[in-house]
């Protein structure tokens, strides 16, 4: 047993060092001090939204203020209530603290800082996936390390995490916590043929969910919730847990994650329900009541005899005048 442990630690450590080395090579143009070789992420949502918002947030936090309202966006914008602002996301707070401590929160310094934050999340994602797969592949040491390494590389560099999500930072930062959730749920359900869980790991899974929800992309976090709940159900069936134990674990997992993220989710929920008119009439509405082109501002004749202007509420279109969608 001692020989196995002594062999296992260096091999896992070697795989982790290899992941870090490949990560440095993949993002070397971001890390290099040579200006002639440097490359930056393409301008778009990354620069126009995430960098701009992070600069404002850093300025407010540096002044000892909570960034609740942004007065510079048109007539004002409920900054904290917008989930993609990620005001309470722990890694973002660390980034802003370093920017405020080492330099001034300007567009240039924040652009570089968020690029490093993006790259760090890709590394975290590969390490989380390696840990998950290493825990699942324990039958053979070498095969397990090789399989976990390949799986981590595919997860980190297989196209998704290095495609669109780095430019839409919230997608990347919400998604990389899924392997950690699954790992915690797996550890919580390792007690075989006994209707008992390791609740410490259920709490850890809920904490990972809470961090994901703070990252600012609820759609990605919701997909992670679906996968996590399905895996918990599978493990409960595999370990022959009762439905009460499964239900208690599921509720605890969701309550901890939602509770930790409530400070962000509740304002976001109110904001999303107040930015578009919602039909409150009891009359039934059909899709033919307001036949108009799907444009953010496109007047057209409707069945009510007036010209309508559409607003997108996030899941359907609404007419501002008649409320139909």
Q: 175, 192, 219 — which closes off a domain?
A: 175
Q: Are residues 69 and 165 in the same domain?
A: yes
Residues 221 and 113 in one domain: no
Contacts of 139 (CB under 8 A, 6+ apart): none
* Residue 48 per-residue DSSP state: I
One domain, residues 238 and 305: no
The residue among 153, 175, 197 that closes a domain is 175
Domain boundary among 136, 158, 175: 175
Question: Which helix (DSSP H) or strand (DSSP E) does residue 33 occupy?
Answer: none
Per-residue pLDDT of the chain (325 residues; tens, 9 = 90+): 334 444 545 899 999 999 999 999 999 999 998 888 888 888 888 888 999 999 999 999 999 999 999 898 888 889 999 999 999 999 999 999 999 999 999 999 999 999 999 999 999 999 999 999 999 998 788 899 999 999 999 999 988 888 889 899 999 999 999 999 999 999 999 887 677 899 999 999 999 999 999 999 999 999 999 999 999 999 999 999 999 999 999 999 999 999 999 999 999 988 887 775 543 433 333 333 333 333 333 333 333 334 444 443 344 444 444 444 4
**Residues 21 and 156 both lie in one domain:** yes
- C-alpha to C-alpha distance for 98 and 91, rounded to whole angstroms: 11
Shared domain for 264 and 282, answered yes or no, is no
Number of domains in the chain: 3
Domain that holds residue 305: 277-325
Let me know: does 53 contact 79? Beta carbons within 8 Å.
Answer: yes
Q: 73 and 9, same structural domain?
A: yes
Whether residues 82 and 218 fall in one domain: no
Please give the Cα distance from 197 to 199 (Å, whole number).
Answer: 6
Quote the CA–CA distance of 218 and 231 in Å, as a whole number: 20
Per-residue DSSP letter, 310: E
**Residue 108 sits in the same domain as residue 218:** no
Which residues neighbour 19 within 8 Å (Cβ) at sequence distance 6 or greater?
A: 123, 126, 127, 130, 149, 152, 153, 156
Give yes or no: residues 131 and 164 share one domain: yes
Instruction: Please check whether residues 267 and 313 belong to one and the same domain.
Output: no
**pLDDT at residue number 170:** 95
206-229 in b/e form (b: 16+ CB < 10 A) is bbbbbbbbbbbbbebbeebbeebb
Clarify whether residues 245 and 319 are in a common domain.
Answer: no
Which pLDDT score is estimated for 76?
A: 87
pLDDT at residue number 9: 57
Please indicate, yes or no, whether residues 83 and 212 belong to a single structural domain of this protein.
Answer: no
| Coil, strand or helix at 87 | coil
């Amino acid at each position: 047993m001692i020989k196995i442990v002594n062999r296992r630690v260096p091999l896992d450590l070697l795989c982790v060092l290899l992941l870090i080395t490949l990560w440095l090579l993949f993002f070397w143009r971001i890390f290099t001090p040579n200006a002639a070789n440097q490359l930056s992420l393409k301008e778009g949502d990354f620069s126009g939204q995430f960098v701009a918002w992070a600069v404002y947030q850093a300025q407010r936090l540096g002044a000892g203020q909570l960034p609740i309202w942004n007065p510079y966006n048109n007539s004002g914008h409920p900054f904290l209530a917008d989930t993609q602002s990620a005001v309470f996301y722990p890694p973002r707070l660390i980034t802003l603290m370093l920017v405020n401590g080492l330099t001034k929160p300007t567009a240039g310094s924040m652009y570089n800082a968020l690029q490093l934050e993006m790259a760090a999340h890709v590394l975290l994602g590969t390490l989380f996936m390696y840990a998950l797969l290493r825990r699942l592949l324990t039958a053979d040491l070498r095969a397990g390390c090789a399989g976990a390494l390949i799986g981590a590389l595919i997860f980190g560099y297989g196209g998704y995490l290095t495609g669109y999500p780095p430019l839409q930072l919230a997608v990347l930062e919400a998604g990389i916590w899924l392997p950690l959730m699954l790992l915690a749920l797996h550890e919580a359900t390792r007690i075989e043929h006994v209707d008992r869980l390791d609740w410490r790991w259920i709490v850890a899974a809920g904490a990972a969910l809470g961090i994901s929800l703070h990252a600012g992309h609820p759609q990605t976090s919701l997909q992670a919730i679906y996968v996590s709940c399905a895996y918990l159900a599978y493990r409960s069936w595999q370990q022959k847990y009762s439905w009460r134990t499964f239900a208690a674990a599921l509720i605890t997992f969701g309550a901890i994650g939602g509770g930790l993220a409530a400070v962000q989710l509740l304002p976001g929920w109110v904001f999303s329900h107040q930015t578009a008119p919602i039909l409150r009439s009891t009359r039934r509405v059909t899709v033919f009541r307001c036949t108009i082109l799907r444009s953010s501002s496109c007047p057209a004749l409707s069945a009510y005899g007036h010209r309508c202007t559409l607003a997108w509420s996030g899941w359907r279109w609404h007419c501002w005048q008649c409320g139909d969608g």
